[in-house]
């Protein structure tokens, strides 16, 4: 296992802390970052040029985001896939686009991690909110102009880590529940949007942390937040652990490339509730960070309305 490296970090928003910061996304047209604080029902925006922060409240918990070509965002929320319009006020306008079949998304579940494939189809998965229940009821879905697919992957406990290789022909998916801690790779049909040939990519049972949100860099390496491990982990395309970056919080939740040259990374995190400066949670639990990982990312596709 490679030695863990340290990297300079910049804290976003001064003393800003998210309860469960998640799903950062870079909007190149706006030169801005977006992310969500799930239980706070809040979407945040950071203007990369001015450093200005804005936020909008949402009617449901918003777990994952992607930019829409037509403007606004697409999101996986509590009851389905929604379109979000962010206006001049502080409340987002949410319109339901699609929901799973009856019985697949019960009242004790919600959507979790998601992103667009290289062709602009939105992928998002579900989970049981109470992780202690360890119920494998989570499913992964694809949403496109024709509607929401049936479950493309089933029997997930805590669905996470969706990402696509630079050429779009490999899809990654993880289960971050403590009983799973695995990342899988799939062959991905870019024409039909169908994954196949599921195989184990990384078993994190013996690594720092559990696999949370993820992204892919221009070398085709898979970057994943090591939740409970205070680190970001970089895996080569062959599944070899290539690099580990130390972070000042125990529970980083997701990372995203952005900036004009895609050489910056924004990292969200979780505050488990002990409050500011909480020992084992890390001094910056819940903070949002910017750092330079030493490699460049790949432009993320916007949702193709």
Name 268's Cβ contacts closer than 8 Å, sequence gap at least 6.
18, 21, 22, 23, 24, 35, 213, 252, 253, 254, 255, 288
Residue 182 near residue 203, CB atoms below 8 Å? yes
249: left (phi over 0), alpha (psi -120 to 50) or beta: beta
Residue 298 near residue 216, CB atoms below 8 Å? yes
Farthest-apart Cα atoms in the chain, separation: 49
Catalytic position from the list 37, 212, 217, 228: 212
Instruction: Output phi, psi for 87, to 5 deg.
Output: -100, -155
Is 212 designated active site?
Answer: yes
Q: How far apart are CA 296 and CA 276, in angstroms?
A: 32
∠ CA 287-206-271, rounded to 5°: 15
Quick one: CA torsion of 53, 57, 62, 68, rounded to 10 degrees?
-60
Instruction: Output phi, psi for 104, to 5 deg.
Output: -90, -25
The upper half-sphere exposure of residue 94, i.e. CA atoms within 13 Å in the direction of its Cβ, equals: 24
The DSSP element (H or E) to which 131 belongs, if any, is none
DSSP type of residue 34:
E
Instruction: Using CB atoms within 10 Å of the CB of residue 131, give its burial: 0 to 12 exposed, 13 to 18 middle, 19+ buried.
Output: middle
For the record, the structure tokens of 137 come out as 């009821």
Q: Which residues are catalytic?
A: 212
């Amino acid at each position: 296992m490679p030695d863990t490296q340290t990297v300079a970090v910049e804290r976003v928003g001064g003393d800003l802390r998210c309860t469960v910061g998640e799903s950062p996304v870079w909007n190149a047209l706006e030169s801005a970052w977006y992310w969500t604080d799930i239980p706070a029902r809040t979407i945040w925006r950071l203007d990369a040029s001015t450093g200005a922060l804005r936020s909008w409240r949402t009617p449901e918990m918003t777990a994952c985001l992607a930019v829409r070509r037509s403007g606004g965002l697409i999101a996986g929320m509590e009851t389905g896939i929604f379109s979000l319009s962010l206006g001049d006020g502080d409340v987002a306008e949410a319109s339901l686009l699609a929901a799973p079949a009856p019985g697949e998304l019960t009242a004790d579940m919600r959507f979790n991690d998601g992103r667009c494939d290289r062709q602009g189809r939105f992928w998002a998965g579900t989970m049981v909110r109470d992780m202690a229940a360890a119920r494998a009821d989570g499913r992964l879905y694809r949403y496109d102009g024709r509607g929401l697919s049936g479950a493309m992957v089933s029997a997930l406990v805590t669905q996470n880590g969706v990402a696509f290789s630079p050429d779009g022909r490999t899809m990654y998916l993880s289960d971050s529940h403590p009983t799973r801690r695995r990342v899988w790779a799939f062959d991905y049909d870019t024409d039909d949007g169908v994954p196949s040939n599921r195989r184990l990519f990384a078993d994190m049972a013996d690594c720092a942390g559990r696999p949370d949100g993820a992204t892919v860099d221009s070398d085709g390496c898979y970057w994943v937040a090591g939740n409970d491990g205070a680190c970001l982990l970089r895996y080569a395309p062959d599944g070899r652990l290539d690099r580990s970056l130390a972070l000042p919080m125990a529970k980083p939740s997701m990372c995203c490339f952005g900036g004009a040259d895609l050489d910056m990374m924004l990292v969200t995190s979780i505050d488990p509730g002990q409050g500011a400066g909480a020992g084992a949670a890390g001094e910056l639990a819940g903070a949002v960070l910017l750092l330079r990982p030493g490699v460049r990312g790949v432009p993320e596709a916007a949702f193709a309305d």
